[in-house]
Chains A and B, each alone.
Chain A
Amino acid sequence: MNGKLRKILTECIRDIETGALDVEGCLQRHPNQAEELQSHLELRSGLETMAKDQPDFASQQRGRSRLLGALADTEKRMIPALVPVVAKAAAVVAGVALLVGSAVGTSAALGGPNVADDILSTVGITSSQGVDNAAEAADGGIATAERGAENRDGDPPAAADGRSTAEDAKDGGLGIGADNANSSASDEHGNSDNPGGNPDANADGGPGNGNGPGNVPPGPNDVPPDAAQVPDDVPPAGP
């Protein structure tokens, strides 16, 4: 193949396609190769003016439908694939929430650090406020407390006056510390979900007592009755 002719043809094609020259201009620029060049440029013109294939409209529509059908199938496959992932994520979140909740409750119940109280303190609610709230709740719930005093479990209405505080715990003489009392106070703050206003509920950090028949017997952390507060008509609690 003639390298010079190829180079000239390349230049001519470039000039024609960029609009710098037309075919006649190229031939005039290269008069020595004009004859040979002309046949090649005519072939190129023939290729360029050749009718382009036009796709059939109906087949184009079919192709589009096929594509959109495949798109719908892809989406259908993606949804079932996502369901297990979402379910797993939800299960993990629920599990973590359960563990945290259990840990917080156990910690408070066993007299350890009261995480709930720490959290509450961040929103400006303190244990003392909880005590006050408990007292207010107790004022409204004396009748309930009195009913609780009649229970067989013998829990005295020690907190009937709402003083379920550290002092009460100390008075009990069972070594229940102020921390526990404080946690009780925070429990009483949580007494908002106890619409009956029963001041005894969780006042000692143990299982709910003084709420009537069928209650769980006093636990080891239950505050014993303060003798000064035990009514005469109620037998002393405990063994």
Chain B
Amino acid sequence: MEDLAIYSREMRAEVAGVTAAELNEADLVAQAKARSPEAWTHIYDSHYCAIFRYVRARVFDEAEAEDLASAVFVGALKGIDSYHYRGRPLLAWLYRIARNVVASHQRQLLKARGGDAKGGLGQAQRVIWHLTRWGRRNDEQPTDDDLMSAASGETDPAMMVDGLDLRDALTKLPAGQREVVILRFLVGLSAQEVADVIGKKPAAVYSLQARAILTLRGQLE
């Protein structure tokens, strides 16, 4: 009987031009709005990995990335009442929250640890500076060896691609290209999924990907 009801609902949805996946996400969002623990557990388990990878690519430190990734879901819980499902994947909404959480975190980081020490550094160097300062006391300054180590990618060999320190290189990419590279290669979404998440067409994702690769290759030369 229950199967029949689900089948009937899906049939009606198909007639209305809605896919079963959208129907399930719509149901899931409705349950999440009703503060269903099962719904929130499902959302968390389904998307935590992608959100963690995205945050990890942006904030470099794993412990910090874990903390921020869970903060993304708490933020989603707080904002669920104002969220309206319109057919776009739920991950797109979570991604926007993650982007804001990371940006907010980086602003706080710059403010709290900023001061004069980073004043003369470029954007990429500032990120490396923050990376090397992780775990230090606020009054300590990074040494030249720290910067060299971070710039050479010795801190995380997994992020080396053909001798390219990807994290360093990502900071030099324009925002659109950087987001596509992170979502496509570091998070592991398909081009269509990336398009859904960032709200562009797949052709735009291919184009941004090509531009990013050309830029990254330019950094190696």
Which residues from chain A sit less than 8 Å from chain B, CB to CB? 1, 5-6, 9-10, 13-14, 17, 39-40, 42-44, 46-48, 50-56, 59-60, 62-64, 66-68, 70-71, 74-75, 78
Contact = CB atoms under 8 A, between A and B. Distances in A.
Nearest to A54: B49
A46 B73 contact: no
A13 B74 contact: no
Given A47-B181, A52-B186, A63 B214 contact: no
B203 interface: yes
A47 to B, nearest CB: 4
Contacts of B57: 53
Which 10 pairs from chain A and chain B are nearest by CB?
Answer: A63-B70, A47-B185, A59-B66, A10-B210, A9-B210, A55-B52, A14-B206, A46-B161, A53-B56, A67-B73
Interface string B38-58: 001100110011001100110
Nearest to B48: A60
A71 B161 contact: no
B211 interface: yes
Contacts of A53: 52-53, 56-57, 62, 65, 158, 186
Could you tell me the dominant secondary structure of chain B's interface residues? Answer: helix
A17 B191 contact: yes
Given A43-B161, A55-B49, A67-B77, A50 B70 contact: no
A43 B217 contact: yes
Contacts of B206: 10, 13-14, 17
B41 A55 contact: no
A70 B45 CA distance: 16
A132 to B, nearest CB: 54
Nearest to B68: A63
Interface in B62-93: 62-63, 65-66, 69-70, 73-74, 77-78
Given A63-B73, A67-B74, A17 B190 contact: yes
Contacts of A70: 74, 77-78
Given A50-B185, A68-B41, A13 B209 contact: yes
A54 B158 CA distance: 12
Given A6-B214, A10-B206, A63 B44 contact: yes
Contacts of B147: none
Interface residues of B, number: 47
B178 to A, nearest CB: 13
A1 B44 contact: no
A112 B53 CA distance: 78
B48 A13 contact: no
9 contacts: A50-B159, A53-B52, A63-B44, A63-B70, A64-B41, A64-B45, A66-B74, A67-B77, A70-B74
Contacts of A78: 35
B20 interface: no
A74 B77 contact: yes
A157 B139 CA distance: 103
A150 B40 CA distance: 77
B185 A42 contact: no
A86 B99 CA distance: 39
A100 to B, nearest CB: 36
Contacts of A51: 158
Contact of A14 (B63, B186, B203): B203
Nearest to A68: B37
A43 B216 contact: yes
Nearest to B32: A71
A18 to B, nearest CB: 8
Given A46-B161, A52-B186, A64-B41, A5 B48 contact: no
A22 B159 CA distance: 25
Contacts of B116: none
A39 B214 CA distance: 10
B162 A46 contact: yes
B185 A62 contact: no
